[in-house]
Structure 1
Amino acid sequence: MTALEQPAILTPSQAREVFRTGEVPETTSGWCRGYVQANLLAVPRDLAFDALLFAVRNPRPCPLLEVTDPGDPLVHDVATADLRTDLPAYRVYEHGRLVAEVPDVTEYWRDDLVGLLFGCSFTFEAALAAAGVPLRHVEQGRNVPMYVTSRPCRPAGRLAGPLVVSMRPVPPDLVRTAAEVTARHPAAHGAPVHAGDPAELGIASLDRPDFGDAVTAEPGDVPVFWACGVTPQAVVMASEPPFVITHSPGRMLITDRSDETLTP
């Protein structure tokens, strides 16, 4: 049985070793159960203050976990990891346009890049499952669906753009449970930002996510939306900075921190 067939029981270091071999899963949801996952935004030093200020002003989509020194690709606080190689897949943007999606960004890494790591909602999924909340995307073997909304984030310097949300269909009698469970994980986006009609977020159709995969809801399920760490990518596309590296949506850095260390 391969690592991709039993990813939940891997340690974070084992998972990162798998990713360094070039093996790219559809999603890291369900990998390394009990460990914090993180979104990546790597920007040139001259944009780093704006990126940091953006995170401070928008903590729901961008709960900050760590910031690296300029040019240093190594993570020191939340993991012993290399930002160039230890995620499953990356996106490279130039002037807001996606120019590459690759399993390794060593050739793209620059001496002036600052890495920012943000919490991820995959972190609270084990707690949702333990509380009896079904995870439809996991059941269906899909990446979680993510949508660009009509809600603007607070701008910071040269960075401005819309909020992105992830969506999980939840049985109506478990919506309150899902909200209470995830509220205990503010470093993983916390409680939902909306439950119910997607049109209130400016989402025209749940069948056409902007990132990730559409999932099939069970009859009666309520769409529940959480702020998402792909928000910086929507902001990059809207703001068009010259050069940025991010994670590929749904394919995260798996850290060495346990979920409990980020729960108040």
Structure 2
Amino acid sequence: MIDLGDTPAAWRARFRDGEVRQTSALCDGYGQANLAVIPEAWADDFECFLRANPAACPLLARGRAGEWGLPALGDFDLRRDLPLYRLFRHGKAAAHTADVSGYWTPDLVAFAIGCSLSFEADLVAAGVTLRCHGAGRSCSAFDTTIPNRAAGGFGGNLVVSMRAIPADQVGLATSVTRQHPRSHGAPVHIGDPKAIGVDLAKPVDGIGLTDIGPGEVPVFWACGVTMERAIASARVPFAITHAPGHMLITDTRVKGQP
């Protein structure tokens, strides 16, 4: 194999060869994306849902039925180039797999949705202390009691990601992430988790840092896992998503801070 270094193409090749790992802190400066793949019959309503909930589901690209590429975001094979996928049947999570080639059918439509892992390097570069950004570490995600704007059969509640931010850096973190609307933008809530129905003891899939240290404040951003709750609410007969934390690494550059 040609040595591509620490590039998006190199990481995708490693995933294609069977390596499974979370993508937090990989390829700083390149955008990461949530993936949703659903039958064409549901695709227009799903896109309406995404556009109705842009903070949680900023739409980066939509593919054509049966195609497993998204040329606007890079040269990759969506069936094999993510580290881990989740399969849904009738709206319920059914299995995880590292390769969905055998499940891809001509009626499936792929959607890429912005991911907050894309802005973490900018937070660190701006001087925000971010304990969840590093090899083997990641932010956590939580279900809330905030309803999404429904479209067609798609609805459910908002999912948020949480990062513990030093209190004197919350304003800076807000300012930096506001400049990343394609990666969820500014926080949707700061402070008391219970105010939005979050239980810090119950992160989605048990993934990520959940502790709040002395002098830190829990800060919450809208999260792309929201689309899973929408798929569940619609009871889509079959769907494929990334496994939480195991994102699509694209070839698109993230705009850094001045």
Q: Is TM (by shorter chain) over 0.5?
A: yes
| SS of alignment partner, residue 54 of structure 1 | helix
| Partner residue, 2:203 | 209
CA distance in 2, matches of 1:214, 1:30: 14
Matched, 1:49 2:44: yes
Question: Deviations along 1:46-101, whole A, 9 cap, x unmatched?
Answer: 00001110111000011111100000011211111111001110000001111110
Corresponding position of 2:220: 225
Q: Does 1:171 align with 2:166?
A: yes
From 141, 150, 153, the equivalent of 1:146 is 141
Hey, what does 2:95 align to over in structure 1?
100
Supply the distance in 1 between the matched residues of 2:20 and 2:140 (Cα, whole angstroms): 18
- 1:6 is matched with none
Secondary structure of residue in 2 paired with 1:137: coil
Aligned to 2:32, what secondary structure does the other structure show? strand
| CA positional deviation for 1:138 | 2.8
- Distance in structure 2 (CA, Å) of the matches to 1:174 and 1:240: 41
How big is the shift at 1:207?
Answer: 2.5
Q: CA deviation at 1:239?
A: 2.5
SS in 2 for 1:52: helix
Q: Take 1:213 and 1:186, find their aligned partners in 2: how far apart are those partners?
A: 23
Q: Secondary structure at the match of 2:102?
A: coil
| Alpha-carbon distance between aligned partners in 1 of 2:45 and 2:252, rounded to the nearest angstrom | 27
1:13 matched residue in structure 2: 9
Displacement of 1:206 in angstroms is: 1.0
CA contact (8 A) 2:84 2:98 kept: yes
Q: Secondary structure in 1 aligned to 2:103?
A: coil
2:74 is the counterpart of 1:79: yes
User: Would you say the 8 A contact 1:29–1:143 is kept in 2?
Assistant: yes
Q: Name the % identity.
A: 46
For the residues of structure 2 that align with 1:140 and 1:218, how far apart are their CA atoms? Answer: 20
1:61 aligns with 2:62: no
TM-score, structure 1 normalization: 0.92
Indicate which of 119, 127, 132 corresponds to 1:124: 119
- CA RMSD for the aligned pairs? 1.6
Count of aligned pairs: 253
Instruction: Name the TM-score, length of structure 2 as normaliser.
Output: 0.94
**1:237 deviation in Å?**
2.1
The residue type equivalent to 2:38 in the other structure is V
Measured in 1, the distance between the counterparts of 2:250 and 2:222 equals 20
Cα pair 1:137 1:215 within 8 Å, conserved: no
* Cα gap change, 1:247 to 1:139, in 2 (>3 Å): closer
Unaligned runs of 5+ in 2: none
Corresponding position of 1:22: 18
